[in-house]
Structure 1
Amino acid sequence: MKAEILSIRYLHEGWNRFGLAQVRLHDGSLVERAIEDHGHSVGILPYDPARRVAMLVRELRVPALFAAGEQMQLEAPAGLIDDGSPEENARREVLEEVGLSLNGLDFVGATYSCASLTTEKIHLYLAAYSPADRAEDGGGAEGEHENIRIVEMPLADLAAMADRAELTDLKTLTLVLALRLRRPELFAE
């Protein structure tokens, strides 16, 4: 027997939708499961291979503030996919958040950010840049109240943070580990 969603009752519809689904499982039993839906997203780790640094952001994430009192989260630039391809949205988000105009994107993968709760599939990219790629100030899109702080950090420091389990954002940890696997020479001190 195939699992199937029998019905969804939405409790909230706004920037995202939150609902409760009645599901028939493979064994025929009926259960209720929560679903959060806000679309797909992109996450990008811009890195300068010549200077061996990466461009990240620090910003408030209210769920992390609620869960652990974290005032600022260190993250790779990211955002929702609006119109266009994931690649177009990745370039737009990096320009908005850190002010870089990117050319090449190295696709890492597309994965569910938390398949037990959300429909979000995040498309992950690595992107080499140089100081000449600075096109704008960054800091986030006008009117979104992101209050982004741009952080340029040595790749060796990022690797050390990953080793100490100090990167608490999953997309950022994944991207740092992917870059470390693909370009280990960039992490030498």
Structure 2
Amino acid sequence: MKAEILSIRFLHEGWNRFGLAQVRLQDGSVAERAIEDHGDSVGILPYDPVRRVATLVRELRVPPLFASGEQVQLEAPAGLIDDGGPQENARREVLEEVGLRLHDLEFVGATYSCASLTTEKIHLFLAPYGLADRTEAGGGAEGEHENIRVVEMPLAELAAEADRAAITDLKTLTLILALRARHPELFPA
């Protein structure tokens, strides 16, 4: 038997939607499951292969603040997919958040960020850049109150942060591991 959604009751509809679904499971039983829906997104790890640094952001995230008191976390630039496709939105987000104009994007994959709760599929990219590609200050889109702080960090230090489990953002950890696997020459032996 295939699973099927019998009904959905949305409790909130705004920037995102929260709902409860009645689902008939594969065994025929019925259960209630939560759904959060805000659309798909992009996550990008810009890195300079010559200087062996990556550009990330530090930004307040209210859920970690609520869960553990964590004020900010180190993250790869990211954002929702608006008009256009994932690559176009990846370039826009990186320009808004960290001021880099990207050319090449290396697709890592598209994966559900938390399939037990959200419909979000995040499209992940690695993106090489050079000093000439820094064309703006970054800091986030006007009026969105993101308060983004741009952080340029040596790749060796970023890898060490990942190794000691100090990277708490899953997309960022995934991108760091992908960069290490695909471009090991950028990291010390």
Query: Residue 155 of structure 1: CA displacement?
Result: 0.3
- Aligned-partner residue type, residue 122 of structure 1: I
Q: CA–CA distance in 2 between the matches of 1:48 and 1:83?
A: 28
Deviations 1:110-144 (A, max 9, x none): 00000000000000000000010011110000000
Q: CA–CA distance in 2 between the matches of 1:165 and 1:136?
A: 32
- Aligned to 1:33, the other structure's residue is in SS state strand
Give 5+ residue unaligned stretches, structure 1: none
Give 5+ residue unaligned stretches, structure 2: none
- Aligned to 1:93, the other structure's residue is in SS state helix
- Aligned-partner residue type, residue 184 of structure 2: P
- Aligned-partner residue type, residue 29 of structure 2: S
- Aligned-partner residue type, residue 178 of structure 2: A
User: Residue 24 of structure 1 corresponds to which residue in structure 2?
Assistant: 24
User: Residue 38 of structure 1 corresponds to which residue in structure 2?
Assistant: 38
Name the TM-score, length of structure 1 as normaliser.
0.99
- Correspondence 1:76 to 2:84: no
- Aligned to 1:97, the other structure's residue is in SS state helix
- Aligned-partner residue type, residue 39 of structure 1: G
Q: CA–CA distance in 1 between the matches of 2:115 and 2:101?
A: 32
- Give structure 1 regions of 4+ aligned residues with deviation exceeding 4 angstroms: none
User: Residue 6 of structure 2 corresponds to which residue in structure 1?
Assistant: 6
- Aligned to 1:144, the other structure's residue is in SS state coil
Query: Residue 187 of structure 1: CA displacement?
Result: 1.1
- Correspondence 1:167 to 2:167: yes
Q: CA–CA distance in 2 between the matches of 1:156 and 1:165?
A: 14
Q: CA–CA distance in 1 between the matches of 2:79 and 2:115?
A: 18
User: Residue 97 of structure 1 corresponds to which residue in structure 2?
Assistant: 97
Q: CA–CA distance in 2 between the matches of 1:161 and 1:114?
A: 23
Deviations 1:29-61 (A, max 9, x none): 000000000000000000000000000000000
Q: RMSD in angstroms over aligned alpha carbons?
A: 0.6
User: Residue 61 of structure 1 corresponds to which residue in structure 2?
Assistant: 61
Q: CA–CA distance in 1 between the matches of 2:63 and 2:181?
A: 30
Query: Residue 164 of structure 1: CA displacement?
Result: 0.2
Q: CA–CA distance in 2 between the matches of 1:85 and 1:135?
A: 23
Q: CA–CA distance in 1 between the matches of 2:135 and 2:161?
A: 29
Q: CA–CA distance in 1 between the matches of 2:86 and 2:157?
A: 29
User: Residue 136 of structure 2 corresponds to which residue in structure 1?
Assistant: 136
Q: CA–CA distance in 2 between the matches of 1:69 and 1:187?
A: 32
What is the total number of aligned residue pairs between the two structures? 189
Query: Residue 16 of structure 1: CA displacement?
Result: 0.3
Identity of aligned residues (%): 83
